[in-house]
Structure 1
Amino acid sequence: MNQNSPKTFQFNLSGVGNWLTILLIVWLLATFGLGWLVNSLLFLMGLVLIVPVIGYFGLRWWLSRNLIQDPCPVCQYEITALNQTQLQCPSCGEPLQVQQGHLERLTPPGTIDVKAVEVSAKQLED
């Protein structure tokens, strides 16, 4: 404090603002009634309880329709993927596409995919 200044009387109003805010809120609640506040709190509590349950069952339903599990057509590695997506096999690196619930090789147009059949030498002699 400065010793050379004249002594003045000062008010400390730091706590008055908080009390005025609380009184204003209480006055507004008393004016409009508390029914809307109770109803809105009950509505919010209902949403907090119901939305996660609906979300859980909705997500399970969506996953059961869109999640497929199929072997890779090249290396027979079992892959889990979402329907209508493109991915790469983690085992052999082959680009794959999920179509109609099954994995198919993603090949450029005009590519003919041939399945090799193993023939033993004994069958040729007969």
Structure 2
Amino acid sequence: MNKKTNIIKSILFLLLIISLLTACQPSEYKMDDMNKEESLEDTQEEEITLGVSAKDKDLLIRSENISDLVVNLYGIDNATAIILNDRVAVGLEMADGYQLTEDLKETINSTILENDSGISQVLISDNKRYLIRLKE
């Protein structure tokens, strides 16, 4: 009886090991599939670029240049410019202790008009809500 019990225990132990090994196998394959899917998604995300035409890219570059020109003026911490046809809307964030005066508006206006011949009208605001909307 002792011998029969040992044989049964050995068979049960062997079956347990086999079932554990075979049960883990599909899970490993699933992880490989999941990793492949994640890798594929990462690759696809890297390949996605913003499709802009040459004209749109030119507008972006001009807008960035206008923003840079305005930020270089004294008392302005941040500027965002959006070009629409021959107009530009400029949102300003003034430095601490500075305010947007009529003289500063005129300086910004003349600086932009002198540096970008495609602009005929400049709209300027230091309202933070407009700056946030322009950035969006």
Which of the pair has more CA radius of gyration? 1
- Shorter-normalised TM-score: what interval? 0.3 to 0.5
The two structures have a TM-score, normalised by structure 2, of: 0.35
Comparing both structures, which one devotes a greater share of its residues to helix? 2
